[in-house]
Structures are given as C-alpha cells and as structure tokens.
C-alpha cells in the first residue's frame, strides 16, 4: 500500500472515532427550547455528534460550568468582565428574550389593560394591592370601567433564575425605590 493511501485511511479512521464527540450544556430554562432546537438541527447535519442541553436555571448552569461538569452554560444575566476573567470563562450573547407580565382579570379583554414599569414595581413591592387602585385606573382610560375591584396576587419565581434578574433589572431602571429596596441577584 502506498504511504499516501495509508495516511488517508488513518485520517478517515481518526475522523470516524472522533465523530462521536458530544457537547453538554445547562442553565437558562428561558432559552432551553432554543438550545434544543439548534442542537436538533445541528445533529441532523453533523451525524454522530451529540449536543445536549438541560434547563436547570441560570445559577445551576453557572455552577455546573465552573465545576467543569458541562461544556457551556446559558444565562439570561450577563456576567461581569471581572468574573469572566477570574473564572476563565468567555461570554457570547446569542439570543434575547422578552418577559411579559400576564394578567387574568374577569371582564377585561386580553391586551386591554396597561401597566407601566412603575406600577409593576409598586404591585410587586406590595404598595398597590387592588386592581381598582387610582394609579392603575389613571393609565387605563379605555379599560378603567371594566377593571374589577379585586385583590392583586402577584406571582414570581423563587429558583435560580436569570429571568428574575432581568425583571428586577427592568424595574430598577424605572423605580429608584425598587433599586434601593430589592436585591438584584441571580437567587
């Protein structure tokens, strides 16, 4: 056998053995569907290469990548340059997502209720407790008459969530009280 042919066969053998490589990630549950779709599309093109992603929350993803249990982590909260440098990490923005408050009020059609960031901060801090609060009615000229006099029951996440960071960051930008009184953290 000629040396050139042997080298070519050896290269093909190495490529075949190495083709079973895998890449494992975890983190943001918000971005999980996107990562999984991308992995599915990539795996169709690169036969033998497996990519997995587990939505466990941004905090847990970061912990796993720091412990070297995974190859990459997804987080909705950007890391500071100093943290990236000291932990030997690289950061690449790949997607943006929106967080939208959802309200279910009897008699108020979907999309008709208006809430500002200031109102949301007051609702989540417990300063506004009822839907017919004058501050809510003031910004809802069209829906005001339809808004029932019911208590507001805010819901939120308690787990390690980049979405929680994004929501807190947003409210802090519009409410100095929120910025002073709330911990902006990854939980």
CA distances from 43 to 26, 27, 35, 40, 92 (A): 18, 20, 12, 5, 21
pLDDT bucket at 165, cuts 50 / 70 / 90: confident
Q: Which residue has the higher pLDDT, 56 or 19?
A: 56
Q: Label residue 3 by pLDDT band (50, 70, 90).
A: very low
- The DSSP element (H or E) to which 123 belongs, if any, is helix 117-124
CA distance 42 to 115: 41
| Helical residues (DSSP H) of 90-148, grouped into ranges | 117-124, 134-139
Average pLDDT over residues 158-163: 72
Mean pLDDT, the chain, integer: 83
Q: Does the predicted TM-score (pTM) go above 0.85? A: no
The whole-number average pLDDT for the span 27-32 is 91
Q: Is the pLDDT of residue 94 over 80?
A: yes
Structure-token pair, residue 42: 């990539």
Query: Strands, DSSP E only, in the chain?
Result: 22-27, 50-55, 72-74
Q: Which two tokens stand for residue 107?
A: 């008699």
């Amino acid at each position: 056998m000629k040396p050139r042919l042997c080298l070519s066969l050896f290269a093909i053998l190495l490529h075949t053995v190495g083709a079973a490589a895998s890449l494992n990630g975890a983190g943001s549950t918000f971005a999980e569907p996107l990562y999984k779709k991308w992995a599915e599309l990539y795996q169709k093109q690169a036969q033998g290469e497996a990519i997995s992603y587990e939505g466990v929350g941004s905090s847990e993803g970061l912990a796993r990548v720091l412990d070297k249990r995974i190859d990459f982590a997804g987080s909705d909260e950007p890391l500071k340059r100093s943290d990236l440098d000291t932990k030997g990490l690289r950061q690449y923005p790949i997607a943006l997502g929106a967080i939208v408050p959802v309200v279910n009020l009897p008699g108020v059609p979907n999309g008709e209720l208006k809430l500002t960031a200031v109102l949301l901060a007051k609702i989540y801090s417990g300063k506004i407790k009822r839907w017919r609060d004058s501050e809510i009615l003031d910004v809802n000229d069209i829906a005001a008459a339809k808004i029932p006099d019911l208590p507001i029951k805010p819901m939120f996440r308690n787990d390690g969530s980049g979405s929680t960071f994004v929501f807190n960051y947003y409210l802090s930008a519009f409410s100095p009280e929120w910025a002073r009184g709330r911990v902006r953290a990854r939980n």
